[in-house]
């Protein structure tokens, strides 16, 4: 690994702690897993499915050779369940967050790479292969012990200190063994294995490649390598090195999600994006919209992908294209809402906040569930039409008028609803003028 080489080359002190989790998959606490998924803002429905898959495990034991009745398990992931490694990955995010918090509050000092563009690394993690890294200090040793005990209390994942090891680069053996006795772990030597790959050591020596060759052999013999390919692991190691610029699924992103408080309306709105008559791609689009994850120009500028002079709204209104602007306050696209409202015949207060807008639009009908479900679907159709129109204008150089956009909202909602509503099929024309009569909700 580059990091160990770098420390050796520049004679910097590097302290590595390779964590061994005890029976990694057996002791994971489901309540904790549920809390992590909640804080990482996974959609409610998705979390529910996962819980049903993970928490429905039953077992029976053999007593004198005959199986007992099945009984439900209360914790742990099933070995061999294809979901388990992914669940473990979620659980491990908690350790990431703890390590980040320790670094940010200056309790733990990560290892700094490079001399110019400094990048500080405090942990590398994949499933149950976890590596914590920092500078040589007693404060770091104490922080490591604390963070692991804390993580164990939270998650139920026990750290096997006897099997874990402390490795030092440019650190004296005496200091290392003293630190190892504080951590009650053993002292390891480079090279050691991380993700099945040797870390540190001289690559020109034949011996160092033995585990790699063994691993490839193992993989070729019956494709036994389980959850991730060898190449995948290499890529993963590289990926972990790069600071994340695109706001993708990263340690930093997860940490921000876990630590930032979302407004209440977002929770309500996020349940509204799932509608059984709306195509999944539209719901996923709406999820990204409410999270402000769409590649709007304002977001592209913030990520350094385009320069600020290209941030203007494609409608020519003169505003900056943020999600809020494009879907609500734009004088061009935003006026689609009033057209839609006059079609479905109600008026509602216009919130300038996207999730509030969604919630208000959906609930502006009193009482009737079918009406609410209808306005919910119309809102989703409307934002979908605005986004596709924006992309048409931007990338295809073609343009629809506002009345044409309204027609599209009518078309989409008709298409989405007609598969489940027989009345609608025979009422194509009256849908245009009077949707409620067609739905039978007047």
Nearer to Zn ion, 197 or 312 (CB): 312
Nearer to Zn ion, 90 or 328 (CB): 328
User: Which listed residue (330, 380, 385, 386) binds Zn ion by CB under 5 A?
Assistant: 330
Among 265, 313, 406, 409, contact with Zn ion (rule: CB under 5 A): 313
Q: What is the nearest approach in angstroms of Zn ion to the Cβ of residue 301?
A: 15
Contact stretch for Zn ion (CB under 5 A) within 75-83, 92-100, 135-143, 307-315: 307-315
Q: Which is nearer to Zn ion, 147 or 330 (CB)?
A: 330
**Best CA proximity match to 193, nearest among 121, 128, 141, 129:** 129
DSSP letters spanning 153-184: HHH---B-TTT-EEEEES--HHHHHHHHHHHT
Nearest distance, CB of residue 395 and Zn ion, angstroms: 17
- List the one residue from 76, 134, 168, 319 that touches Zn ion (CB under 5 A): 319
Residue 150 or 320: the one with the smaller Cβ distance to Zn ion is 320
Is residue 94 at the binding interface for Zn ion, with CB under 5 A as the rule?
Answer: no
Among 135, 187, 317, 339, binds Zn ion (CB under 5 A): 317
Question: Which residues have C-beta within 8 Å of that of residue 408, sequence separation ≥ 6?
Answer: 385, 388, 389, 400
Only segment of 40-48, 110-118, 174-182, 314-322 that touches Zn ion (CB under 5 A): 314-322
Residue-by-residue DSSP string for 358-417 = HHHHHHTS-S-HHHHHHHHHHHHHHHHHHHHHHHIIIII-----HHHHHHHHHHHHHHHH
Helix/strand/coil for 299: helix
Shortest distance (Å) from residue 401 CB to Zn ion? 15
Looking at the Cβ atoms of 132 and 301, the one nearer to Zn ion is: 301
Nearer to Zn ion, 133 or 332 (CB): 332
SS3 of 141, please? helix
Q: Which residues of 109-141 are buried (b: 16+ CB within 10 A; e: fewer)?
A: bbbebeeeeeeebbbbbbbbbbbbbbbbeeebb
List contacts with Zn ion (CB under 5 A): 313, 315, 317, 319, 330
């Amino acid at each position: 690994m580059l990091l160990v080489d770098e420390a050796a080359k520049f004679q910097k002190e590097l302290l590595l702690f390779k964590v061994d989790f005890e029976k990694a998959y057996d002791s994971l606490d489901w309540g904790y897993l549920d809390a992590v998924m909640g804080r990482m803002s996974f959609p409610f429905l998705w979390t529910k499915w996962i819980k049903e898959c993970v928490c429905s495990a039953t077992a029976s034991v053999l007593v004198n050779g005959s199986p007992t009745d099945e009984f439900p398990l209360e914790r742990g992931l099933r070995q061999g369940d294809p979901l388990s490694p992914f669940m473990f990955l979620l659980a491990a995010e908690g350790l990431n967050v703890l390590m980040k918090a320790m670094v940010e509050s200056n309790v733990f000092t990560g290892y700094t790479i490079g001399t110019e563009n400094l990048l500080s690394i405090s942990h590398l993690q994949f499933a149950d292969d976890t590596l914590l890294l920092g500078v040589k200090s007693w404060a770091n040793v104490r922080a490591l012990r604390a963070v692991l005990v804390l993580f164990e209390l939270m998650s139920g994942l026990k750290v096997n200190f006897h099997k874990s090891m402390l490795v030092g680069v440019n650190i004296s053996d005496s200091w290392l063994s003293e630190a190892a006795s504080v951590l009650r772990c053993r002292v390891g030597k480079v090279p050691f294995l991380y993700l099945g790959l040797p870390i540190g050591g001289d690559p020109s020596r034949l011996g160092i490649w033995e585990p790699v060759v063994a691993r490839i052999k193992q993989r070729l013999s019956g494709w036994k390598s389980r959850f991730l390919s060898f190449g995948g692991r290499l890529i993963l190691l590289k990926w972990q090195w790069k600071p994340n610029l695109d706001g993708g699924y990263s340690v930093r992103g997860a940490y921000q999600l876990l630590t930032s408080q979302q407004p209440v309306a977002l929770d309500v709105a996020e349940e509204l994006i799932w509608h059984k008559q709306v195509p999944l791609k539209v719901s996923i689009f709406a999820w990204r919209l409410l999270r402000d994850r769409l590649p709007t120009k304002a977001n592209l500028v913030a990520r350094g992908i385009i320069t600020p002079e290209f941030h203007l709204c494609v409608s020519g209104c003169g505003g900056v294209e943020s999600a809020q602007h494009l879907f609500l306050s734009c004088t061009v696209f935003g006026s689609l809402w009033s057209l839609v409202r006059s079609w479905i015949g109600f008026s509602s207060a216009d919130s300038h906040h996207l999730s509030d807008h969604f919630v208000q639009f959906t609930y502006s009908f009193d009482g009737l569930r079918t009406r609410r479900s209808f306005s919910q679907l119309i809102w989703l159709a409307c934002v979908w039409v605005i986004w596709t129109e924006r992309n048409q204008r931007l990338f295809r150089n073609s343009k629809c008028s506002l009345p044409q956009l309204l027609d599209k909202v009518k078309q989409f909602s008709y298409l989405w609803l007609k598969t489940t509503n027989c009345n609608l099929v025979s009422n194509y024309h009256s849908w245009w003028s009077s949707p409620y009569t067609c739905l039978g909700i007047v």
